[in-house]
Each structure stands twice: as structure tokens, then as C-alpha cells.
Amino acid sequence: MRFNRRFLLWSGLGTTIAAVFGREQLQQQALQAEQAKLRQLYDPTQLVESAFGADLTAIKDSVAVQQSAKLRSPTIPYNREWSKLLITGSKLCTQQYLKGKYDANYDGRISALPLYTTGFKPFRQITSFKAAERVEEAIPFEVPLAALANTPENLNELGDRVNQTKDIIQNQVKQVVNLRQQIPVYYGFLLSSPKMNILMFRGTQRQLEWLENILAIQTNYVHPVKGTVIGKVHSGIYNFYQTHLAAAVKKAVQSLDPKKPLIISGHSLGAALTTFAAIDLALIFPALRPSIQVYTYAGPRLGNKAFVEAHSQLLPNHYRITNLADMIPMLPLSKLLKDDFVHVGESWSFLSQQGDIMPNHFVETYRQAIEQGAETRSDKGFDNLRVRLS
């Protein structure tokens, strides 16, 4: 009887242990099966491949944005001699701005500038273009101690400081006023010769202008005559041109001979102003349209596909010259939120890597390259990169 009881107890314990171990084994098997599923879903190799695939897709999408625009081919070949003159003109624009800002007696004549060369002597300067520049300046001024007589709490607080500070207070208190004003500065000029006319705009010179280049929000480009919308463009630069320069440019060119070429050109910000001036003038003065040629250097992207295609249909003779090491022509991004930005113009490029952002963009870097004839016709960028993307 004792044997049977002992046997039953041990049998029950064994059964319980077996059940526990069996349940744990089943749970372990279920856990292993779940982990196997997770490994399939979150396989590190697949994750890495997916990440690289997403990067490749983003690159292809960015390239596709530019390639999707249908641009007209120029009807007139790129003119290297004109390009040498125009990039020198961009440097003259910079010198005109600086001399006008610091010389109150300067009247805008480019013949008074250091870089004025024989290439510009056949030209008559019709006008210069000015626009208001906002200036913020910190100006120190002296306040006599008597002026603080009504603020004894300030004196008591300062009076507890070291002797040197007390001596300063006894003599005077220096304060600073932030002076904000707008002063007219030069943005370019219009030249005329027996053979051609040249309209030039200067490049970026101030921090605010850099921000206007980089911070891109799109707005409608409005037909200057009909008021209809022709695509979307960079709002900051477009609004600046329309507010400060459009009327003066329109007035200046209206009497030009439409039989002579009208070359519109600029570097950096000047390239952007050039692009807007060219399409405005082509729409306002249809007789001038066949004579307009556009040479832009180091310009940012300005508009979406609709604007760029309309610009190209009106003005096929647009040549866009860039340094492949220059960051500014890569801005704004091709795809920015819901907006697309596309370059306009036939692409000409060179490579001059100076080791930093600003030297790669300077007008002098472009001038030296173009003087040497370094620019070549290419929309392909680096061929080895295109092979990997194909």
C-alpha cells in the first residue's frame, strides 16, 4: 500500500514536471518561430540594401527632375569671346557696387573702375540700375553722467563695482544705437555699341542676399502683360526683381534697336536677376525677343518645370556656365518639399576646386577659367557617376 502511494506520488510529480517542461518547450519553440519571422522582416542585410536602394532612388529622382524638362536647343552657338567680355562685366558690376557704396561722389560710370578694359571702350553706358539696400549699423555714442540723474538705482548698482568701473561712470556712459536705414546701391548697367547691347546684373554681396538665394519658397510667375500664371519661381529673388528693378529695366531697354543682339548676363544673384529680366523683356517687347541672348554664371535654380520650359521656348539662346565644384548652382534642391526646381539654359561647365565654398563660387574663379577657355559643353556632369545610376 505504501509502495503504491509512493509510486503514485512520484508518477504525479513526474507528470507535472513533464508537463511544465513540455509547456516551456512549446513556448520556446513558439518564441523561436516568432524570432525567425522577425529576422525575416528585419534582416540587417536587407535593411542595409534597402537603405542604399532608397538613396539610389532619391538620386535618380533628383536627376529625373532636371532631365524631364523639355528645353529648346540654342539656334546660335555659344560665343567664347562674348563670354570673356561678359564675365569681366560681372566683375565690373561688383566693383561698381563697392565703389558706389563707399564713394559718395561716384556716379556709376564703369569707365572709372579699375577693371575697365579696352573691350568695353566701343560701348556707351546708357544707364545704371540702383535699388535700396537695407543697412543695419551699430553706432556708439556718449551719454554724460548727468543724463542718468533720474535713475539712481542704476548708479547704486554700478557703484558697488570695482573702482575702475566707478571712474568710468564718473566720466561718461557709452551706449550703442542700432541704426537701420536703406541706401541706394548699384545692381548693374546697360551698355550699347554699334554691334550689340549688353544688360548686366551684379552678384551676391551681402548675407541677406545669400539667404534669399538659399531659402526658397515658390510663388507664381505672372505674365507682365497678360497677368496669367507661367509656372512657379523662387519667391524671394522674383519679388525683389519685380519690386526694385523691373520698371527701371523696362524703361531703359524700350528704345533699343531690336536688330542688334541684346545680351543679358550676370553672376550668382545677377544670374537669377538676368533670368527674370530676360523673360520679362521677351514678353513685354516681342520685337526684342529674337535678339535676346542670355549668359548666366554660377546661378541657382529658379523655377519649376513649367516656368523653365516656357522660358526656354521664348529664349532658347540661354547659356548656363557653372563650376562643377561650386555649391550655389546646386541650390535650391531639385526636390524641395512639394516643389521642384529645374535649371534653364544650355549647360557649359568647368572644374576649379579651390578647397572651400566661397572661392569655388567667386566671380574671379569663373573669370580665370573662361579666360583660359576651360568651359565645355556638357549636361552629363561626371560620366562615372552616370554609369552607376544607369
Residue 111 — very low, low, confident or very high, per pLDDT cuts 50/70/90? very high
Q: How many helices (H) and strands (E) does the chain have?
A: 13, 12
Residue 118 — very low, low, confident or very high, per pLDDT cuts 50/70/90? confident
Range 382-389 average pLDDT: 49
Nearest-angstrom CA–CA distance, 326 and 350: 10
For residues 203 and 318, which has the higher predicted lDDT (pLDDT)? 318
Contact 319, 345 (CB under 8 A): yes
pTM: 0.74
Least confident window among 16-25, 307-316, 336-345: 16-25
Residue 169 — very low, low, confident or very high, per pLDDT cuts 50/70/90? very low
Give the start-to-end residue ranges of the domains of the chain.
68-137+184-389, 139-179
CATH classification for the domain delimited by 68-137+184-389, as one of 3.40.50.1820, 3.10.20.30, 3.30.505.10, 3.40.1260.20: 3.40.50.1820
pLDDT value, residue 180? 59
Residue 365: count of CB within 10 angstroms of its CB: 20
Least confident window among 17-31, 78-92, 162-176, 345-359: 162-176
For the cut 80, the answer to whether the pLDDT of residue 158 exceeds it is no
Nearest-angstrom CA–CA distance, 229 and 227: 7
pLDDT value, residue 306? 95
User: Considering the chain, what percentage of its residues have pLDDT values greater than 90?
Assistant: 52
pLDDT value, residue 143? 46
